[in-house]
Chain A
Amino acid sequence: MPSLKYIRNFSIIAHIDHGKSTLADRFIQMCGALSDREMEEQVLDSMDIEKERGITIKSQSVTLYYEKNPKEIYQLNIIDTPGHVDFSYEVSRSLAACEGALLVVDASQGVEAQSVANSITAIDNNLKVLPVLNKVDLPSAEPERVQSEIEEIIGISAENILEVSAKSGVGVEELLEQLIQDIPSPQGENDAPLKALIIDSWFDNYLGVVSLVRIVDGEIKVGDKIRVMSSSRDFIVDQLGIFTPKRNPKKILSTGEVGYVVAGIKEIDGAPVGDTLTLAKAPADESLPGFQTIKPRVFSGLFPIDSADYESFREALAKLRLNDSALHYEPETSQALGFGFRCGFLGMLHMEIIQERLEREYNLELIITSPTVVYEVLTTSKKIITVDNPAKLPLSNTISEIREPIIVADILVPQTYLGSVITLCIEKRGVQKKIHYIGSQVSLTFEMPMSEVVLDFFDRLKSVSRGFASFDYTFLKYQEADLVKLEILINNEYVDALSFIVHKDFSQSKGRELTEKIKEFIPRQMYDVAIQAAIGSKILSRQTVKAMRKNVTAKCYGGDITRKRKLLEKQKEGKKRMKQFGTVEIPQAAFMAILHVGKNK
């Protein structure tokens, strides 16, 4: 059992591309946890999607042994954190298992808004934040400027900031020494009743539920009967261990350690994230505080293309929900799309990731409807209803007012791009609250409607600032706004899945743009397809997809039918992601057309 003073638990906070994964890899290599051959690039990002996108979505951990000298061997537990704004909730989960955090900042890019937000969360959680400048070997590095940014924006001392190059390995050894010195060792009583915090849980087809835990007090052994405190259900521990980053079995996990527990839990919700594990024979008095539940911000309908997939879709969602409590879902029925689920997400990236995982890991083919935020409706009978689906907006004569969610956006942007960023925020109905110059960067605070932010704000912000602006946002309040439901009709029939809520001032232009976009997505077919946008009975705009003149293969050389078949197969393949709506085939992409409105400006 390692003595507490030889354990360090920490996270790495970094903006996307600032080198977190590279640094973690370097640590792993230096501590000899993997041979060079095993050293796949960026081992911490273990989901395919994470590797492809170069981002971290789920928390992961790795345990390393650093030999300072033969007498002092330190156990380092790195708990990885996601870097994207959508996943800030996951960050706070990871931080709850740590005593410290490395704040890795790109020495030329400077501080970015999400790192600021995450660092502040870490500081609020009483974590020691250790700033590190990465990529100092790049010619564009400006260590002094970035150092003063860290001090001014985050408000921590960066006087003795460490300068490293994770890529070449320069300074990494010194960094290890420094973090052992600066980050406190965990507290806790090994003799006290077991309290283990579930940081993460996921479902393994062979093992059942696997949980990543931090032992806060006590210890846990293979064969122990453990109790999940929220449900008071008991299980026998089959396996324990640490990630190195391979799964490395152990007999015992002691106070201060971070590792995995497998206890034959077959039910998907058997070991919820944030719950506390204790021993059945000597239970702890009270559970750990756990995590605040997070509310999803963006909702959309997900429908299986093949209705026979509905049950497996439900199961897949349950499995994903196990370690992603931000994912919400409930059954939804659409006239156009049949049976599916209304799903809630933290943001657009979260939605894309879930969609991709459902399609890749569970082989589902889905149609996703336009994302929407949650509105509040005050009815004429003075009731407040929340609406996460435009199709469910009450009749207009029963609505007294509609309120939309407003967020506070904190933006960091180099001065050069200040003008275009402000223009963008105003276009998105933002109201400027604060502006603050820090070195060459400007910190901006805007209040904006969330609906304007969730769709494409992040992409637009990146493009108007050439990738230099960063932002973070928090929910502020609901506020009355002049909103209307824009409905889409295809061949004069209302398609519930295409309707959305929009500010009245923009309804005319949005309606026109949306019908134009939908037109682009609907291929020419056997009949004319009329696409109309309407508010109530008032038609705002109309577009027509003209019917194909014909669809026939002129010359069909009788002998060789194979080529003709391939042609038909291609045609059929193209329609796979389409939904039959009366005589019209609507491709999946058309249901997301709203995302493309205003993109080509």
Chain B
Amino acid sequence: MKKYFDVNSPSSVPLSLYIHIPWCIKKCPYCDFNSHEASISFDEQGYVDALIKDLEVELPHIWGRSIVSIFIGGGTPSLFSPESIDKLLSSIRAYLNFNSSIEITLEVNPGTVEANRFSEYKAVGINRLSIGVQSFNDKYLKLLGRIHTSREAEKAISICKGAGFKNFNIDLMFGLPSQNTNDALLDLSTAFDQLPTHISWYQLTIEPNTQFSFNPPNLPCDDNIWSMQKEGQELLKCNDFFQYEISAYAKKKFASIHNTNYWEFGDYIGIGAGAHSKITNFNDGKIERFSRHRVPKRYIELAGHSDVIAHKKILDSDDISLEFMMNTLRLTNGIPANLFFERTGLHMNQIKKELKYAKDRGLLDLCGDQIVASSHGQRYLNDLLEIFMK
């Protein structure tokens, strides 16, 4: 691959840090992330130490670059004590430069136990919470196998605000088993009352190898889900939540920095069991993806060694252009055309034919310097993306 990158300004590709905490009290039947039910105890201390050792190994790959965001996700990261989070963040601060407006998000479960820790999380440096509410209706919470109630969720949110978190996200799902449009919209209205800055509103989908895939629930029909989505999007808009990605809605200036970095094909280091990374090497222009061992016990053993990497792949130019599109076309407003070169180091000619084809089929708008999926293209994004597969 040719060296197209400007090697003198590696900072032109933003860098994020993702930290994976792989335990939950109970695995949800729809979840296909790398999470494990926490048995009586899990090695919290050992895992935090492992994460720090793991980060050290990564440092040579990101030398001199500052990070724009940290996301601690899971699993249920709020199972970890504020002391552990403190230790983790302190070490990271010692190793990495933080961008002045860095976003540091912690994913939390809206249970009573966790809520009592919110103010301490704030104190150790977390500046954004992502609260996994999923629904404000106990009927659906039960169907989804969640361990909290809607009351607990509302309480947790009020504690979150009381702790001084101005920036927080509520995760909500729609298209739940036997849900009607009314119930879906009611969940949104209840969320608005909590005054979040961000709502992730996404459709429940049955992923392979989840409990739901083996024992499928009775999901609403396509037509009903479609009307939920249309009416919900209208409601979000009326309440000043602007859609910026397929499933992400935010108040002005509160789009998640961390998620936006994914969608804009930025770089990220993922540490923790099963975490994925994508790093650009500015010396040779190569882009590499890799992931770590998934099983927590094994991860703890291997952290600090290069063996902790389970899979590694240097992307070829076809991979890069496809993955660039897979991410950026999810953005409601698309991206400026020059971002393609900035993030991939490849010339636009690489995808010229495909862009034209997609445009001719009404799936893509190329207005001025902006590349954006048309409304038709957003609706049939998978068909649009298929065009970029070689």
Contact = CB atoms under 8 A, between A and B. Distances in A.
B203 interface: yes
A549 B222 contact: yes
B276 A568 contact: no
B340 to A, nearest CB: 17
Interface string A552-577: 11111111111011011101100100
A526 B376 contact: yes
B382 A555 contact: no
A552 B322 CA distance: 16
Contacts of B229: 550
A551 interface: yes
Interface of A: 525-526, 548-562, 564-565, 567-569, 571-572, 575, 583
Given A548-B222, A554-B202, A559 B268 contact: yes
Given A558-B262, A559-B268, A572-B389, A553 B382 contact: yes
Nearest to B204: A554
A575 B327 CA distance: 23
A544 to B, nearest CB: 15
A575 B386 CA distance: 10
Given A550-B379, A571-B382, A583-B361, A561 B202 contact: no
A556 to B, nearest CB: 7
Contacts of A525: 383
Interface in B206-263: 222-223, 225-226, 229, 246-247, 259, 262-263
Contacts of B144: none
A552 B380 contact: yes
17 contacts: A525-B383, A548-B380, A551-B379, A551-B381, A552-B380, A552-B381, A554-B246, A555-B205, A558-B327, A559-B278, A561-B278, A562-B276, A564-B326, A565-B322, A568-B382, A568-B385, A575-B386
B323 interface: yes
A4 to B, nearest CB: 65
A2 to B, nearest CB: 62
A549 B327 CA distance: 22
B33 interface: yes
B247 A554 contact: yes
A556 B382 CA distance: 12
Interface string B253-283: 0000001001100001010000111100000
B226 A549 contact: yes
Interface in B27-55: 33
A375 B326 CA distance: 52
Contact of B275 (A559, A564, A567, A583): A559
Given A549-B225, A568-B382, A556 B322 contact: no
Contacts of A557: 33
Contact of A554 (B205, B376, B379, B383): B205
Contacts of B222: 548-549
A565 B361 contact: no
B23 interface: no
A551 B226 contact: no
Contact of B326 (A551, A565, A571, A583): A565
Interface residues of B, number: 40
Contacts of A583: 361
Nearest to A556: B330
Nearest to B20: A559
Nearest to B227: A549
Those 9 A-B pairs whose CB atoms lie nearest each other, nearest first: A558-B262, A559-B276, A549-B226, A554-B203, A551-B382, A554-B202, A552-B381, A549-B222, A560-B276
B378 interface: yes
A583 B226 CA distance: 22
Nearest to A524: B222
Contacts of B270: 559
Given A568-B389, A583-B361, A558 B381 contact: no
Contact of B386 (A550, A555, A571): A571
A316 to B, nearest CB: 26
Contacts of A568: 326, 382, 385-386, 389
B109 interface: no
B321 interface: no
Nearest to A547: B380
Interface in B333-390: 361, 376, 378-383, 385-386, 389
Nearest to B221: A549
Most chain B beta-carbon neighbours within 10 Å: one of A525, A556, A572: A556
A556 B385 CA distance: 14
Nearest to B376: A526
A549 B246 contact: no
B18 interface: yes
B382 A567 contact: yes
B149 interface: no
Given A550-B379, A583-B361, A556 B323 contact: no
B74 to A, nearest CB: 12
A569 B389 contact: yes
B45 to A, nearest CB: 25
B101 to A, nearest CB: 20
A561 B291 contact: no
A527 to B, nearest CB: 10
A552 B276 contact: no
Given A559-B270, A561-B327, A568-B385, A550 B205 contact: no
Contacts of A549: 222-223, 225-226
Contacts of B379: 550-552
B383 A555 contact: no
Contacts of B226: 549-550
A553 to B, nearest CB: 7
Given A561-B326, A565-B326, A553 B205 contact: yes
Contact of B383 (A526, A559, A565): A526
Contact of B382 (A552, A559, A560): A552
A526 B381 CA distance: 10
Contacts of B278: 559, 561
A467 B139 CA distance: 56
A526 B380 contact: yes
A564 B222 CA distance: 21
A572 B330 CA distance: 19
Contacts of B275: 559
A367 B334 CA distance: 38
B206 to A, nearest CB: 11
Contacts of B382: 551-553, 567-568, 571
A583 B262 CA distance: 32
Contacts of B322: 565
A343 to B, nearest CB: 32
A512 B134 CA distance: 47
A581 to B, nearest CB: 14
Contacts of B326: 556, 561, 564-565, 568
A583 B357 CA distance: 12
A565 B247 CA distance: 18
A526 B18 CA distance: 36
A550 B382 CA distance: 9
B386 A572 contact: yes
Given A559-B262, A568-B326, 13 more contacts: A526-B376, A548-B222, A551-B379, A552-B381, A553-B381, A555-B247, A558-B259, A559-B276, A560-B276, A561-B323, A565-B323, A568-B385, A568-B386
